[in-house]
Amino acid sequence: MQSVTIQNLTFDEYLSASEIASIVKEVANRINTDYAGREPLFICVLNGAFIYASDLFKCINLPAEITFVRLKSYEGTATSGKVNTLIPLQTSVKDRDIIIIEDIVDTGLTMHGFMQYLKEEGARSVELTSFLFKPDAIKYPDATPKYIGKSIPTKFVVGYGLDVDEKGRNLDSLYVLHPEE
Ligand code: IMP
Ligand code: MG
């Protein structure tokens, strides 16, 4: 098995680049079918989702658009669900069919807040695709993605856009933290 070391931690290969490519293609096919006749607006959530968004968007055969947002979530004791916007949306979502693109949904906090915001801004529909989903970690079930690339155990992963302290995003495979780390 192929391993990499990032920030002094060992990670083992979990999904190869070709496995990732077929997962992405499958998700895109489902979206192409479900949104036939519509013009969805994709919203890529920076930073982690930029590689998945790029690969997915190339497989979309609809008259789709894409825009970007950068979010940071805070889990305050009294303010759960609060999402701070670092780079705001530049495109109106009013009356649009929105498909949010995420790299990974863990507790769902970030997406819970953002999906609520898009509905308040007048989006016609809001759905979520995430390359990865950790079903055992979810705390906000309304943030469960409709279009999931792969559900994974609650373990730390890196590569394909996902980082450990901002490193490892450029790996073209996905890696999981070695069990002894
Ligand atoms: P949530 O709001 O708890 O769902 O957190 C989602 C965010 O946490 C993701 O967008 C990632 O930035 C980060 N995250 C969660 N799990 C991992 C992981 O295994 N590797 C890298 N980043 C992760
Ligand atoms: Mg992210």
For residue 78, the model assigns a pLDDT of: 46
Q: How far apart are CA 31 and CA 169, in angstroms?
A: 25
Is the pLDDT at 21 greater than 80? The verdict is yes
pLDDT average, residue stretch 74-98: 79
Task: Report cis status (omega within 30 of 0) of the bond before 47.
Answer: yes
pLDDT average, residue stretch 114-128: 96
Residue 106 annotated as catalytic = yes
For residue 72, the model assigns a pLDDT of: 81
Closest atom of ligand 1 relative to the 111 alpha carbon: 2
Q: How far apart are CA 5 and CA 165, in angstroms?
A: 13
Partners of residue 152 on adjacent β-strands = none
Q: How far apart are CA 145 and CA 148, in angstroms?
A: 6
pLDDT average, residue stretch 59-80: 81
Is the pLDDT at 32 greater than 50? The verdict is yes
CB 123 within 8 A of CB 140: no
Q: Which one of 106, 136, 142, 172 is the catalytic residue?
A: 106
